[in-house]
Amino acid sequence: DGKPAGVYCAFSEVHTQIDLERSIALSEALLEDASWGVVLVDVDLRPAVVNAHAARALGAGRTSVLGRPLGELLAQGVEELESALAHVLAEGAPPAPAELWVTVRTPEGEQRRCWRSGFVRLASPLAEEPVPLGVGWLFQDVTESRQGEQEASLLRFRAQQLHRAARAAAECEDPAEAATVHLDFALAGFADHALIDRVADGTEDAGPVRLVRVAATQSGAPGPTRIDGRAGLPVRYGEGHPAVQCVERAGSVRAGAGSLSPEDARAWAQARQWPPDAVHALCTVLRSRGRTLGAVTFLRGAGRHAFERSDATYAEDVAAHIATALDLASLTRPDR
């Protein structure tokens, strides 16, 4: 009849409410204001939620990333990433962050990146038994620092190789043998094959450049560089050959087979008198006492990257030692 009949009271512990609000606030902050990438991946290994930082790192908008397979976003490294996500779903989070190298497809082209990644398995707190809802993937871009570390390590290794080569060459009685010693030390981690060609007598200052093979690495079985046994016969280099251009310009010349098929790349190498598995070349001039003595050619196979500017700098350092040894060989043994 409109009179109070009692009181209904509903209550909960205040700490539970605060914990819930904090969890929600943390999730919102991670997905909006975090300075690192946050991606929630569903059990099908597809992005379900992406924050702004992660979307920029993936080279796409926040909504365009959702639901797409990772293979459409990454050109390389997707297998390692999907394997890590599957492991977290099955076994739980790893004990420490992992660094993953990936190649991201962006409107500006493919970009090689290193992401320091942490993973968290997501499960429903409302179910009696843990039910996986996906994986939380958090990452930071550490590409610049890792590349700096790699470059510093590479410079230290190359400096050590130059030092070891100089000490080994100093023990050689024959200066020509010392030149091959420098070449052998330079090949470690740098190239698969190498050739030394010397300018034929009478063509140093005038006339078309003709080059004579001095030494070459062994093709097929590994072994030390050997002195070429042909008695001063010119190498059949055509006009515009990188080694000839190198001598004419007195500088380094890089060449490559590009995107040719394996068969065409083999023909490309053989046409230049190089081993058939060569797809990248770097020719560096040999100069001593103000004279051009010839060229040294470094070759890489399909499993290696093309030569870069830093590689040319190292090759020029090696060429300076080789040129000095060859010049000394010509002074001590006129027939060379």
40 vs 139: CA distance, rounded Å: 12
The model's pLDDT over 223-267, given as tens digits with 9 standing for 90+, comes to 566 666 555 678 888 888 999 999 988 889 999 988 888 899 999
92 vs 109: CA distance, rounded Å: 35
Q: Is the pLDDT of residue 116 over 60?
A: yes
The mean pLDDT of the chain is 86
Instruction: Report in angstroms the alpha-carbon separations of 132 from 22, 86, 129, 137.
Output: 22, 11, 10, 14
82 vs 88: CA distance, rounded Å: 10
SS3 119: strand
SS3 193: strand
Q: Is the pLDDT of residue 65 over 60?
A: yes
Question: With pLDDT > 70 as the criterion, what percentage of the chain qualifies?
Answer: 91
279 vs 300: CA distance, rounded Å: 6
Q: Is the pLDDT of residue 149 over 50?
A: yes
Task: Please tell me the predicted confidence (pLDDT) of residue 168.
Answer: 93
Q: What angle do CA 74, 77, 81 make, to 5 degrees?
A: 95
Residues with Cβ within 8 Å of residue 326, at least 6 apart in sequence: 175, 176, 179, 196, 198, 214, 286, 288, 293, 294, 336
The model's pLDDT over 94-112, given as tens digits with 9 standing for 90+, comes to 889 999 999 999 888 889 9
Sorting pLDDT into bands at 50, 70 and 90, what band is 334?
low
C-alpha 102, offset from chain centre: 11
